[in-house]
Amino acid sequence: MGEVTIRRAVREDLPAIIAMLDEVDDLHRRALPWLFRQVDEPRSAGLLDDYVSKQDRTMLLATTSEAALAGVLYMFMRQPARAAIVQPTLIAEIDVLIVSRSVRRQGIGTRLVQAALQWATDKGATRTELGVYEFNESAHAFWASVGFRTLSRRLVAHSKPGVGA
């Protein structure tokens, strides 16, 4: 694999990132077909452009010495709900983490998360949050291994019987 570098993405990286994200989309469509659908039009680079151009978002890449894309993590800053009982804070939200199958279990995901947590700290976040679907047991194990703990659970009830069963 060679040496791995973690760096912030630039616009020129977006085509390779989009190709990598197709793998994650397939995983979610297979596991939750009632929620995720096949989209025929190609993913728009514009959807990801904010992550490389705005200061309250970041997209981090892991690349190998051969310049191959090994992993992607993107995240953004947000305020919590504006209820009086909720402590005022700034939260960093990890939106996506994906590591290429060919280089998994080599510490790349951990390095991306460490870089993300540092970025969040530098931006003034008091904590970092993310969502993981229940079906994704390997993701649950990974996030626990890098120090994340369950804060709450989001439940769903379908209005049509049999949907999501």
Tell me phi and psi for residue 14, to 5 degrees: -60, -40
- The CATH class given to the 4-145 domain equals alpha beta
Per-block average pLDDT, block size 10, for the chain (165 residues)?
A: 87 87 90 91 75 91 86 94 85 96 92 98 97 95 97 90 70
User: Domain extents for the chain?
Assistant: 4-145
What is the per-residue pLDDT for 88? 85
What is the per-residue pLDDT for 96? 95
Q: How many CB atoms lie within 10 A of CB 93?
A: 17
What is the per-residue pLDDT for 39? 85
What is the per-residue pLDDT for 22? 86
Pick from 106, 109, 107: nearest CA to 96? 109
What is the per-residue pLDDT for 29? 95
Pick from 55, 78, 81, 59: nearest CA to 126? 78
Strand partners, 94: 75, 130
What is the per-residue pLDDT for 150? 95
What are the start-end ranges of the H helices in the chain?
14-31, 45-53, 108-122, 137-145
Tell me phi and psi for residue 19, to 5 degrees: -60, -40
46: tokens are: 């514009």
What is the per-residue pLDDT for 165? 62
